[in-house]
Amino acid sequence: MFQQYSVASTNALIAALADQSARNTFQVPYRMLPDRARDLSDIYIGHALAYLMEMDRRGIATVQFLPRWLAPGAQMNADLKAALRRFISLCLTYFSGDEPERLILLAATAYRRVFKVLLMLSEAQWAVAEAHHFIQRFETPERTWSQIVGSPERYALGMLNASAMMATYRFVKGLQSDNDAFKAEVAKLQLRQIWDMEKKLLAQIPNYHKIRTERNLGELHPTEWCCVTYDFLGHLVLCLLQLFPEWKDYILQNHLPEVTALAKLQSWAAKQLLGMEISDQVEPPDDQFLADRFFLGDVETLRFLRAKYNGETAAAVT
């Protein structure tokens, strides 16, 4: 659920989850989206939405359980279409209407950026990745898929994925109160501390942009830009709509401003949905819009991180 897959693998994952729910629509939703806050990521949310859309496509009208943030009226035997309409609205606005999940998603992307910066700087972590690769070369038969795709960079990327997931899990676990309420204000404080750490790390590097290019992980995920100038969650949701034409039409009819905003955030899926060419230039949103969406209104943090990740001169960290 946390990993990004090919279209074929994503379809297989969604179908398998829907098959598991054919006779019982309680167990999978309850484990996937429990009532209490849990660790999440943009990719996890996208897969969860696609799973519920697949259930809807199979003619399931009600789900035995959904969390409060998705079905505030009636969690048990919840109306699936109503829940999907709310879910889509949340995804297209980066959960602006649901604070706990939004803070968790922002923390997950921030942790991933921080761990990637650390990976770029740490000779020890690169040595570990190379050691893993050498062990695999020694122990695995030559004519295997793992040998074909294996490399130190692949192991380093796996370390990045695992570190970000574990940090997000610990972040959420430490913010659960005895009655399962999420400590939102403490989460905001910790999130700002993560951003401060990220800024201090980047401030020590003359040109992170060049280091990242030279130590190329071959990563397809736009880690440095997610929740800085790019809304990966909104883009992912629009990509998944190709599998569900009914909901594609619904979004065009009911969420045109949100799709337009995603196009300004350089989502090619949003541009295509609006009838534009991928190469068409769209005026970017102003800094306050980005700061409100991704940095709790902190424009200075947005500008500093954007400049450093883009290889530009940034104001000194105070």
pLDDT at 277 over 80: yes
Residues 185 and 263 in one domain: no
Round to whole Å and give the CA distance between 171 and 255: 32
Q: Which residue in this structure is represented by tokens 């709509």?
A: 241
Residues 215 and 145 in one domain: yes
Q: Which range scores top for mean pLDDT: 26-35, 65-74, 289-298? A: 289-298
Give the confidence band of 314 by pLDDT, cuts at 50, 70, 90.
low
Give the confidence band of 154 by pLDDT, cuts at 50, 70, 90.
confident
Residues 302 and 191 in one domain: yes
Number of folded domains in the chain?
2
Domain enclosing residue 278, as ranges: 1-94+231-285
Residue 278 CA from chain centroid, whole number: 22
Give the confidence band of 54 by pLDDT, cuts at 50, 70, 90.
very high
Residues 46 and 183 in one domain: no
CB–CB of 238/260 below 8 Å?
Answer: no
Q: What is the pLDDT of residues 180-213, one digit of tens each?
A: 789 999 999 999 999 999 999 999 888 898 988 8
Residues 277 and 302 in one domain: no
**Domain for residue 161, yes or no?**
yes
pLDDT at 266 over 70: yes
SS3 195: helix
pLDDT at 149 over 80: no
**Domain for residue 298, yes or no?**
yes
pLDDT at 130 over 90: no
Residues 123 and 49 in one domain: no
Range scoring the smallest mean pLDDT among 31-45, 122-136, 270-284: 122-136
Q: What is the pLDDT of residues 208-256, one digit of tens each?
A: 989 888 888 888 899 999 999 999 999 999 999 888 999 999 999 999 9
Residues 63 and 204 in one domain: no
pLDDT at 41 over 90: yes
Q: Which residue in this structure is represented by tokens 């098959």?
A: 19
Residues 176 and 239 in one domain: no
Residue-level pLDDT at 28 = 94
Q: Which residues contact 244 (CB under 8 A, 6 or more apart)?
A: 50, 53, 54, 56, 57
Average pLDDT of every residue of the chain: 91
Residues 116 and 192 in one domain: yes
Residues 105 and 7 in one domain: no
Residues 120 and 211 in one domain: yes
Residue-level pLDDT at 305 = 96
Residues 90 and 111 in one domain: no
**Domain for residue 140, yes or no?**
yes
Round to whole Å and give the CA distance between 250 and 189: 37
Round to whole Å and give the CA distance between 233 and 45: 8
**Domain for residue 273, yes or no?**
yes
Residue-level pLDDT at 183 = 94
CB–CB of 251/239 below 8 Å?
Answer: no
Round to whole Å and give the CA distance between 203 and 195: 12
